[in-house]
Amino acid sequence: MKILVAGGTGLVGTELLKLLAQRSKIHVTALVRQIPVSGFSSDQIVFRVFDYDCEEDFQKLAQEKFDAVFCCLGTTRKKAGSDKEFAKVDFEYPRRLLAAVAPSYPIFCAVSSVGADKPRGLYLSTKAAMEKTIMSSGLRYVIIRPSLLLGQRQEFRFGEWIAGNLFSRLRPVLENFSEQKIAEFMPVYASEVARAMVTYALDRPPQEGGVVIFGRALFWDDEPT
């Protein structure tokens, strides 16, 4: 099985590659802006320097065949520097990636955000536009909608640090609630998001159309929505 991962050095992408490295009979191409200093030792994962602003790189990608594509691309408005640059990373790059791989008809799995079904503001509107593009592509798809992402980031985010500490204390209590709306907005670890991507895209892929995964399905083995 040939797998493509976009955003393999990000918070979710890193966890995703860790899981894929444990699987057999797969070959993973991870698109990166630069080769990681400490890469994975697995022979199944190959890092490829890729310029998302280069049309030639996308054209080369379109000549290959992939069975599954994982899109973990994403940034923040603050980090991007402007609305335009943010939208480019969170919408334009995934759109171009989708168009490039579509001819080989892979299953396409992407990380979105809780609230993308009822978008308000730049962030959610951009995620909603990405989801709409994926859903109308004709490919089988898996869209993951996490709430606040937790994990070991390269940069320190005070708000996420506070949320992570609070969440670790409250989670045993929250897990007793069956209400989907509560679980939908619970912070989720990047490792759990990565596990859901692998589960619903590789182990339990949709036979046609697609699924949107959020809430309890990210934490527990519930059926997809």
pLDDT in tens, 178-197: 455 566 767 888 999 999 99
Domain assignment of residue 72, yes or no: yes
Q: Report the domain count for the chain.
A: 1
Domain assignment of residue 141, yes or no: yes
| Inter-residue contact 224 to 180 (CB < 8 Å) | no
SS3 51: coil
- Measuring CA to CA, how many Å separate 103 from each of 68, 75, 95, 178? 12, 27, 14, 41
Domain assignment of residue 46, yes or no: yes
The pLDDT tens digits of the residues spanning 194-214 come to 999 999 999 999 999 999 999
65 pLDDT higher than 50: yes
Domain assignment of residue 224, yes or no: no
* Domain ranges, residue 148: 2-219
Domain assignment of residue 15, yes or no: yes
- Arithmetic mean of pLDDT, 211-219: 87
Domain assignment of residue 225, yes or no: no
177 pLDDT higher than 70: no
Domain assignment of residue 178, yes or no: yes
151 pLDDT higher than 90: no
CATH number at residue 169: 3.40.50.720
